[in-house]
Amino acid sequence: MTGPRPASVATRTLRIAGRTPSPFGPAYAAGADGTENARSGGAKMSGGGPAFLSSPGRPRLPDDRPSADPKPTERSPAMSRAGALALKQPPEFEPAAPRPVPAAPVIAARGLSLTYPTADGPVHALSDVDLAVAPGEFVSFIGPSGCGKTTLLRCVADLERPTGGELTVNGVGAEAARLRRDYGFVFQAPALYPWRTIARNVALPLEIFGLPRAERRERVARYLDLVQLSGFANKFPWQLSGGMQQRASIARALCFDPKLLLMDEPFGALDEIVRDHLNAQLLELWRKTAKTVLFVTHSIPEAVYLSTRVVVMSPRPGRIVDIVDCTALGRERPLEIRETPEFLRLGQRVREGLRAGHAYDA
């Protein structure tokens, strides 16, 4: 025998407006006070409490009536399927998770072509180049001499004007990107002024941009440290080796924090030992700065080692023959990775792309 439940609690729990039919079936009807009272069948409780409460806080439905042989409530197959479907459906108030929006490409070339007019007739340097480079990628261009690798880099830098197709850099035209100082350029030669110290060579773009002297000093010190030339700030270019001079030119290209780094065979004139060392340093620099890098080279191992992708180009007119994905090598790449089967496989694919484009016949 359970005790009576206060009418105020039952009223708050199961109040029904007016005298509408009870949701519990014909055995129950709304009382004058808005609470459910037994019309017939169920046992009445003393104290005016509702007769369908089997225990405080839980309503007894018609199926809960005491019987000599209580049986569990059975559900029809249709009800079971409907209940399962309702459980699978998400609540209406929960919006679907938005799909990730791919980042806009840093470089987008569509049908890019360039033809030089000469006295002997037109020279087709590039033909119908389609390429998209995502933010943070390291993309190398490889192909025979004269295939348009450097020409493509110069188009991105607005040093050459394409004669056909479209080219955008960071979402704008190449000229607008140049005026916004969106890129730094590292040439084949260091191009350092011999009468300036290394620190003053690195600071040259900052002087041109009119940055305060204190900020120039801070940036020069930071980027010389980044390329491991902190102890050579007051040296002159002729007092440094070729590799050190090239590192100084990289610091100069990075000192104004461009979004894009263009590198035209920066290590081509160095011996293999120095080149390997600078490759490892450049890879570490790329990981630290997360810059987007376009890199021109003639070396298959260098291209595969440095790159997220290698763009293989054909002889003139320059076209893209193949794009080799090198992300399987990971971002941490010791020099010893060059002896692994995966590295050799990627190098072989680049070589086959050059052969398919008749690079070896050029």
Q: What is the mean pLDDT of the chain?
A: 80
- Reported as a single tens digit per residue, the pLDDT across 261-306 is 999 999 988 888 889 999 999 999 999 999 999 999 999 999 999 9
pLDDT of res. 271: 86
Count of CB atoms situated within 10 Å of the CB of 193: 11
**pLDDT > 90 in the chain, percent:** 61
Whole-angstrom distance, CA of residue 41 vs CA of residue 38: 7
Q: Which of 157, 178, 166 is nearest to 114 (CA)?
A: 166
Is the pLDDT assigned to residue 35 strictly greater than 70? no
Contact (CB, 8 A) for 45 and 53: yes
Is 271 inside any structural domain?
Answer: yes
Query: What's 233's domain CATH number?
Result: 3.40.50.300
pLDDT of res. 356: 84
Whole-angstrom distance, CA of residue 192 vs CA of residue 189: 9
Is 21 inside any structural domain?
Answer: no
pLDDT of res. 313: 96
- Give the count of alpha carbons within 13 A of 182, CB side only: 20
Q: Which of 159, 254, 244, 256 is nearest to 207 (CA)?
A: 256
List, in sequence order, every residue forming a beta bridge with 185; answer none if it has no partner: 262
Is 75 inside any structural domain?
Answer: no
Please tell me the total count of domains within the chain: 1
Average pLDDT over residues 238-264: 94
Is the pLDDT assigned to residue 104 strictly greater than 90? no
Is the pLDDT assigned to residue 151 strictly greater than 70? yes
Average pLDDT over residues 330-341: 93
Is 63 inside any structural domain?
Answer: no
Instruction: Give the domain extent around 352.
Output: 107-361
SS3 19: coil
Is the pLDDT assigned to residue 44 strictly greater than 60? no
Work out the angle between the directed axes of helices 213-226 and 198-209 (0-180°, nearest 10): 130
User: Which single residue is written with the structure tokens 């493509």?
Assistant: 152
**pLDDT > 70 in the chain, percent:** 70
